[in-house]
Structure 1
Amino acid sequence: MTHTFVDINGQSPVRLHVVQAGPTEGPLVILLHGFPEFWYGWKQQIDALAEAGFWVWAPDQRGYNLSEKPAGIKSYALDILVADVIGLIDAAGRQKAVVVGHDWGAAVAWWTAVSFPERVERLVVLNVPHPVVMKKFASRDVGQMLRSWYIGFFQLPVLPEFLSRSGNATVLVKTLLGSSRPGTFKRADLVQYKVAWLQPGAINAMINWYRAALRVPLAKRPSVRVTVPTLLIWGVRDKFLKREMAQPSIDLCDTGRVVFFDEATHWVQHEEAKRVNELILGG
């Protein structure tokens, strides 16, 4: 792995920290982490994909860890996050990439495929539905509304940051440990996460993703259908998102399929790494 910084000159210019691995002549794959992770969330995928011949780019998305943290909620609107992905593909000197996303990274990946299908070779998303499906369930399905309570909490000023930061990020640690299979996150992993979370301005920026989601409307698209080949991987024991959102998401894809892991949680790429890697590789 090598660590570098890439300047993205999209809708909102930003410098992103990117971990790279694999042959530079190989097909490009971009791994987009979610909340509250950073590039390290793909530690079990990066080497496997590189060894298979892919040129792997795993960025800290804007606001996270070592990447730049622009001020203001609007800096984290979904369309701007998509522009960052396109900027990464441009920076790699490529026309297309395989785009893989988990959690918030999956939402960015979905919307990238909707907005710029000509730039996405293949889409792989983990444990997050299509944004249109998420919006529908989060506003109409009582069960999903209850699971999404934290999104409303994150709209408050100051308090979410204070609680997330207090006690050496105890709440975030408990979130990972309490929603994953026992042993998924080791003590050494949590040390790495704490270092990332406590970077200056990081927690505020991470929470601003949620604020922007409710306050900044998406740009209108001619269609919300996904026309690129799509794979949705879903850990059934997800405490945050209902599996009932998976199939409606695939129904919005011209060519799509869903693979369920009955014993996995929201953190499926950690818990079922070998099989997830095979699926990303097309197996």
Structure 2
Amino acid sequence: MAALSSERLETAADLPSSLGAESSVRTVNGIEFHVVAAGDETDPLVVLLHGFPEFWYGWRHQIEPLVDAGYRVLVPDQRGYNLSEKTAGVRSYRTSECSRDVVELIASEGRDSARVVGHDWGGAVAWDLALRHPGVVDRLAIVNAPHPVVYRHHLLSNPEQLRRSSYAFCYQLPWLPELAFRAGHFALLERALREMAAPGTFTDHDLEQYRRAWRQDGALTAMLNWYRAAARYPPTVPRERVDVPTLIVWGTDDVALTTELAIDSDQYCERSRLELLPETSHWVQHERPERLTDLLLEAFEEEF
């Protein structure tokens, strides 16, 4: 069982006030994690995993409706993000280590398993979790994140996907990406959100919450180390096929990931449902929050 601190933190964004949501620090997998939790502790557990360059706040639209539907919701700042511990070195950000974080986070609730939802890098962790630790995943939901085998294959065989992923090669450089991201009050990161999403998706208020998270000491390097670790220590998984019921939701206007990745990822799932959302970008949970929540609730209960 992980240790739970009674300390309550400034969260870099307002907690959902109507839910009695709580912010706490938990020691999981040997490091300190900031976690937002909401809902009755006896209700079925849902874990929401954010990606780059977000933090728990990226799931703000889903927390309340999931709680209202009868779920206990756990939303961590993933390793290195916002208020969670920034571990030293690139190796500690391997995908396998990040999925171990989730195993122990679920155990910190006194649970053996949970419904796990991941977007972007959170999706990469969720795929790894289902492949490496299938017993801890009741249902899997993936939002714009490819199956690791599919992604590797497309990088090697699909010039269009290689072109779209080329930005990640720049992140392998030491200190320069951090310097570029910090310039102009995080102007590049702000553009990555605003220009990749539909107009108006991210408000000025939203972006100020993100800037508060990005300003945390060591956060930029930690966030980039996820990319560096994936390049230096490519993940290997003990199996390729996902056995647990899986929902894949994909915004087809994603400028970084082709829709073919979603279609091919679906073929690696024994029991699955693929939902392609046209005129929707990479930021599905922000652009189509109600639709995504409906899909999650259906997938959590339906028979595949």
Q: TM-score, normalised by structure 1?
A: 0.97
Q: How far, CA to CA, are the matches of 1:131 and 1:174 in structure 2?
A: 27
TM superposition shift of 1:167? 1.1
Q: How far, CA to CA, are the matches of 1:218 and 1:126 in structure 2?
A: 20
Per-residue CA distance 1:54-78 (angstroms, 9 max, x = gap): 1000000010000000010001000
- Name the counterpart of 1:264: 280
- Name the counterpart of 1:278: 294
Letter in 2 for 1:109: A
TM superposition shift of 1:165? 1.0
Structure 1: where are the runs of 5+ without partners?
A: none
Per-residue CA distance 1:186-214 (angstroms, 9 max, x = gap): 00000000000110000000000000001
Comparing 17-26 with 133-142, greater Cα deviation is found at 133-142
Q: How far, CA to CA, are the matches of 1:85 and 1:224 in structure 2?
A: 20
- Name the counterpart of 2:108: 91
Per-residue CA distance 1:150-174 (angstroms, 9 max, x = gap): 1100011111110011111110001
Alignment of 1:6 onto 2:26: yes
Q: 2:32 aligns with which of 15, 26, 34?
A: 15
Task: State the identity %.
Answer: 48
Letter in 2 for 1:5: V
Q: How far, CA to CA, are the matches of 1:281 and 1:73 in structure 2?
A: 36
- Name the counterpart of 2:10: none
Whether the 8 Å contact between 2:23 and 2:35 is mirrored in structure 1 is yes
Q: Report the CA distance shift for 1:26/1:18 in structure 2 as closer, same or farther (over 3 A).
A: same
- Name the counterpart of 2:174: 157
Q: TM-score, normalised by structure 2?
A: 0.90
Alignment of 1:67 onto 2:75: no
Alignment of 1:200 onto 2:217: yes
TM superposition shift of 1:219? 4.3
TM superposition shift of 1:21? 0.6
TM superposition shift of 1:220? 4.5
- Name the counterpart of 1:100: 117
- For 2:178, what is the secondary structure of its paired residue? helix
Q: How far, CA to CA, are the matches of 1:102 and 1:216 in structure 2?
A: 21
Per-residue CA distance 1:54-108 (angstroms, 9 max, x = gap): 1000000010000000010001000000100001011010011000000000000
Q: How far, CA to CA, are the matches of 1:91 and 1:66 in structure 2?
A: 18
Q: How far, CA to CA, are the matches of 2:293 and 2:244 in structure 1?
A: 20
- For 1:114, what is the secondary structure of its paired residue? helix
Q: How far, CA to CA, are the matches of 1:170 and 1:139 in structure 2?
A: 32
Q: How far, CA to CA, are the matches of 1:281 and 1:220 in structure 2?
A: 28
Q: How far, CA to CA, are the matches of 1:129 and 1:219 in structure 2?
A: 15
Alignment of 1:44 onto 2:61: yes
Alignment of 1:130 onto 2:147: yes
Whether the 8 Å contact between 2:91 and 2:229 is mirrored in structure 1 is yes
Letter in 2 for 1:86: V
Aligned-CA RMSD value: 0.9
TM superposition shift of 1:138? 1.6
- Name the counterpart of 1:242: 258
Q: How far, CA to CA, are the matches of 2:229 and 2:212 in structure 1?
A: 25
- Name the counterpart of 2:41: 24
Structure 2: where are the runs of 5+ without partners?
A: 1-20, 300-304
Letter in 1 for 2:234: P
Letter in 1 for 2:22: T
Q: How far, CA to CA, are the matches of 1:170 and 1:218 in structure 2?
A: 31
Q: How far, CA to CA, are the matches of 1:4 and 1:192 in structure 2?
A: 18
Alignment of 1:230 onto 2:246: yes
TM superposition shift of 1:257? 1.5
Q: How far, CA to CA, are the matches of 1:225 and 1:127 in structure 2?
A: 18
Q: Report the CA distance shift for 1:219/1:239 in structure 2 as closer, same or farther (over 3 A).
A: closer
TM superposition shift of 1:217? 3.5
Letter in 2 for 1:108: V
- Name the counterpart of 1:55: 72
Alignment of 1:211 onto 2:231: no
